[in-house]
Amino acid sequence: MDLIFTILLDGLIYASWLFIVALGLTLVFGVLKILNFAHGGLYALGAYGAAIAVPFFAGLGMPEWFSLLAMFIAAAAVAILIAPLIERGLLRYFYGRDEVLILLITYAVFLILEDVTKMIFGVNPYYVFEPRNLLGNVEMGSLFYVGYDLALIGLAIVCGLGVWFGLNRTRIGKITLAVIKEPEVSQAMGVNIARIYLLAFGVGVFLAALGGAFTSPLISVQPGNSVSVIVVSFAVVIIGGLGSIPGAAIGALIVGIARAFAVYELPEAEIFIIYLVMVAVLIFRPEGLFTPIKARKI
């Protein structure tokens, strides 16, 4: 019984950061119809950003709790600095072109980001412990959990609800939904599509960086994390269905719990269980769980 609980909770924690990152990926795909390969690189930038921002603000004499805010600031800074550069500077020239061509372009961006990150931050690992010690430990039955890890679950829920609320309950969100459905019609009706695309891309980058920033206390921040992030978050969104927010949530949960199960019960399978789940889902539903099956008009 305890084991099941442990697996579920560990899975939930893992699913939380996965969801935050995958949410950004699926949002960008939903609005811009772009699979952003550089998403993993932006995640890494968020992690490095946190590794710089947390000690920086501590050095300014800010209170300890400020380190949580510092991680947000780091993610926002990455989004504000990088998103316009990539979207306005490069991607917008390729809208409407074949999706594979755009994937190649974001792949190229990813390669460049990788080395630029290495040049700026070096190859030695960074560690950010402070935020994780901040929220104490929580006792659950016979087990102790780090409060920070549990708070990640809350953060994921806030991110998911925030994006949902932003899309469905705000004016700009409703315009975005209209752009997703009918880009040409929206543009003809006077919607500034460029602004919507930049905004959606910015939010996507922010979520990638946020995922990276809030994961940084759990890992050593060093080169080489980013590729597995893009591959795993792609697995998550493909399980749920590309472009679907509930799909990303379900996908993250399935992947998180499957991985936690492997860690405790089948350690040899840890590295590939995610893909095994993905393959199993795709065999039965090639479009993912939540994609409405589209018919092309012929």
Partner 1 sequence: MNPILRTFGLAALGALVFIAIGLVVPAWFLFTMTKAVGFGLVALGLVGLLRGGLLSFGQGLYYCGGAYVSGLMANWAGVTDMIVLLSVGCIAGGLIAALVSPLVARYRGIFFAMLTMALSMVAYGVLTKIAAIGGSDGFNVPKPTLLGYHLAETGFGLYAIAVVIAALAAAVCRVHFDSGLGLIASAARENELRIEYLGASVFSVSTRSFILAGGLAGLGGTLNGVALGHVDPFFSYWTTSGEMVFIAILGGYASVTAVFGTALVTELVRSFSGQYFPESWQMLLGIFLLLVIVFLPRGVGSMWAKPAKNHAIRSIKEPAT
Partner 2 sequence: MSGAVLEVKGLMKSFGALVAANNLNVEVMPAARLSLIGSNGAGKTTFVNMVTGYLKPDAGQVKLDGKDITRLPPRLITRAGLGRSFQIPQLCEAMTPVDNILVALEIAGDGGSVFRPARTKGSLDRAVEMLERFGLERYAGRPVNELPGGVRKLIDIAMSLASRPRVFLLDEPTSGVSTEEKFPLMDKVMAALEGERSAVIFVEHDMEIVTRYADRVLAFYSGEIIADDAPDEVLNDPAVQKYVTGTAR
Contact residues for partner 2, defined by CB under 8 A: 295, 297-298
State which residue, 188 or 295, has the beta carbon closest to partner 1: 295
Element (H, E) at 140: strand 137-140
Tokens of 73: 């600031």
Q: Which does 18 bind (CB under 5 to 8 A by kind): partner 1, partner 2, none?
A: none
CB 74 within 8 A of CB 57: no
3-state class of 181 per DSSP? Answer: helix
The burial class, CB within 10 Å (0-12 / 13-18 / 19+), for 154 is exposed
Of 161-169, 198-206, 255-263, 269-277, the segment contacting partner 1 by CB under 8 A is: 269-277
Tell me the one-letter amino acid at 277. Answer: V
CB 176 within 8 A of CB 200: yes
The least CB distance from residue 123 to partner 1, in Å, is 8
Among 4, 80, 85, 97, binds partner 1 (CB under 8 A): 97
Binding mask 202-231 for partner 1 (x = CB under 8 A): -------------------------xx--x
* HSE-CB for 222 with a 13 A CA cutoff: 7
State which residue, 68 or 105, has the beta carbon closest to partner 1: 105
Quote the CA–CA distance of 242 and 113 in Å, as a whole number: 24
The least CB distance from residue 296 to partner 2, in Å, is 9
Query: Which has the closest alpha carbon to 140: 13, 15, 263?
Result: 13
3-state class of 170 per DSSP? Answer: coil
Return all residues near 164 (Cβ < 8 A) that are at least 6 apart.
245
Q: Which does 104 bind (CB under 5 to 8 A by kind): partner 2, partner 1, none?
A: partner 1
Query: Which has the closest alpha carbon to 164: 203, 212, 192?
Result: 203
Binding mask 142-181 for partner 1 (x = CB under 8 A): ----------------------------------------
3-state class of 194 per DSSP? Answer: helix
State which residue, 121 or 214, has the beta carbon closest to partner 1: 121
Q: Which does 97 bind (CB under 5 to 8 A by kind): partner 1, partner 2, none?
A: partner 1
Of 80-88, 117-125, 161-169, 245-253, the segment contacting partner 1 by CB under 8 A is: 117-125
Q: Which stretches within 37-65 are classed as H helix?
A: 39-59
Binding mask 17-56 for partner 1 (x = CB under 8 A): ----------------x-x---------------------
Binding site for partner 1 (CB under 8 A): 33, 35, 90, 96-101, 103-105, 107-112, 114-116, 118-119, 123, 227-228, 231, 234-235, 238, 242, 268, 271-272, 275, 278-279, 282-283, 286-287, 291-296, 298
